[in-house]
Amino acid sequence: MSARELPRPPRYGSRSIADVLSSAAAATGVPGTCNALSLPAAHRYVVVLVDGLGSRLLREVQGYAPTLRSAQPLGELDAAFPSTTSVSLSCLGTGAAPGTHGMLGYDVLDPATERVVNMLGQWPADVDPLAWQPVPTVLERAAEHVDTATVSAPRFETSGLTRAALRGGRFVGADGVYARTARTLEQLREGRRGLVYFYWDELDKTGHRVGWRSDAWLRSLEELDSALKRLVTRLPANTRVLLTADHGMVDVGPEHRRDVSGEADLMDGVRHTAGEPRAVQLHLSAHADAEDVAQRWQEHFGDAVWTATRTELARAGYFGADPDPRMLARAGDVWILGREEIALYDVSRQGTRPLGMVGQHGSLTDEERYVPALLW
């Protein structure tokens, strides 16, 4: 199946996660930033990123979230491709497409060392986040003109992802959603223009563990909604809150979580796997032909997956309009994308622990790729 038959690529530069933080910065008066979302001007903006809160998920459960329901909807936005945290947050943080910032998945191959690096974990000591992702961030640019802060869990302050794509301004650590809400309000100083980035990861963690259709996920959503009410009802004058997400989620039953590492026919010609279970990246040996490998995987899994080569995806705009060849070298030669309820694992590299994950994302289904834009 060719990239021409995939859902359309993300609308980077107009209606995507890459346009959220830069639009908020522009709305506060930061020069050199683009208000692609046409946000109303304000002295202060809080950008709330709720990990895993896809707009199609929210549509089904909005009765549990009156505060979210009370917001002004700005229409759906596109998550990055692939629809996963490290990629979407890097788009948010830089205002750039994946082919520019080079954060191309959960696990990404470093071509210089032939090593697969986890973008959300502990980065190897010899991988410099500022060299890996050299694009100046929105927060760095904003900090030169307005008061700028990130409010998140303390453990993220020195993470590779934060240093690579979300650096800039001061970092304010707080454990728990209500503590984070309180610390966010403390950053909003009357009389000063400001931009605050507020990250919320609890919903995503619950979804991965037990699925987004679970009672536990709904309780996490209700906690989010309650904390947001505290935030939006206590804002100083001339302050707006913009909420979005990095991706949605689909639940994958255990019978559809498959280990492909022992499938000799599928793995022939594959020297590395990377990505995530619903957006597997295959890095091929020199003798392997990408189109042949893609066809082999397509025939094996049928309509359960989409397959495309890196060349097809790049030409179609999934990595942005003008991807940097140095960054594209990190992308798999062939991509296997979940279309139906399926998740594919290389247990020989990943181990068996990820097989227990219920909620999954990374692919191009509507449930994974569409995220909200809500304004108070």
The fold of the 254-357 domain, in CATH, is Gyrase A; domain 2 (3.30.1360)
pLDDT reading at 327 higher than 90: yes
- Same fold for the pair 3-251+365-375 and 254-357: no
d(CA 79, CA 367): 11
Residue 362 has pLDDT above 60, yes or no: yes
Q: What is the pLDDT of residue 180?
A: 95
What average pLDDT does range 156-170 have in this prediction? 97
Question: What is the rounded average pLDDT of the residues 201-229?
Answer: 97
pLDDT of 309: 98
Rounded to an integer, the average pLDDT of 167-195 is 93
Q: Is 231 exposed, middle or buried (0-12, 13-18, 19+ CB in 10 A)?
A: buried
> Would you say residue 25 has pLDDT above 80?
yes
d(CA 232, CA 235): 6
pLDDT one-digit tens code per residue, 90-121 = 999 999 999 999 999 999 999 999 999 999 99
What is the pLDDT averaged over residues 181-209? 94
**Predicted confidence (pLDDT) at residue 2 exceeds the cutoff of 90:** no
Indicate if the pLDDT at residue 4 is higher than 50. Answer: no
The conformation of residue 16, written as its DSSP 8-state character, comes to B
Mean pLDDT along residues 10-29: 98
Q: Tell me the CATH number for domain 3-251+365-375.
A: 3.40.720.10
Contact predicate 349/41, CB 8 Å:
no
Q: What is the mean pLDDT of residues 177-190?
A: 92
pLDDT of residue 5: 87
Selection from 201, 280, 213, 199 nearest residue 249 by Cα? 213
3-state helix, strand, coil in the chain (%, to 5): 40, 20, 40
* Confidence category of residue 189, pLDDT binned at 50, 70, 90: confident
For the chain, what are the domain ranges? 3-251+365-375, 254-357
The mean per-residue pLDDT over the stretch 159-173 comes to: 98
Helix axes 215-232, 177-187, angle to 10 degrees: 20
Q: What is the Cα–Cα distance from 185 to 375, expressed in whole angstroms?
A: 17
pLDDT at 190: 75
The pTM of this model reads: 0.97
Contacts of 242 (CB under 8 A, 6+ apart): 20, 23, 24, 39, 45, 46, 47, 48, 373, 374, 375
Using alpha carbons, select from 173, 235, 291, 257 the residue that is nearest to residue 42. Answer: 235
The mean per-residue pLDDT over the stretch 286-310 comes to 98
3-class DSSP state of 209: helix
Ramachandran area for residue 103 (φ above 0: left; ψ -120 to 50: alpha; else beta): beta
Residue 76, pLDDT above cutoff 80: yes
d(CA 267, CA 280): 12
What average pLDDT score do residues 50-59 get?
Answer: 98
- In whole numbers, what is the pLDDT of the chain averaged over residues? 96
Tell me the C-alpha distance between 54 and 84, whole Å: 11
CB contact at 8 A, 298 and 266: no
User: For the segment 258-281, what is each residue's pLDDT rounded down to a tens digit?
Assistant: 999 999 999 999 999 999 999 999
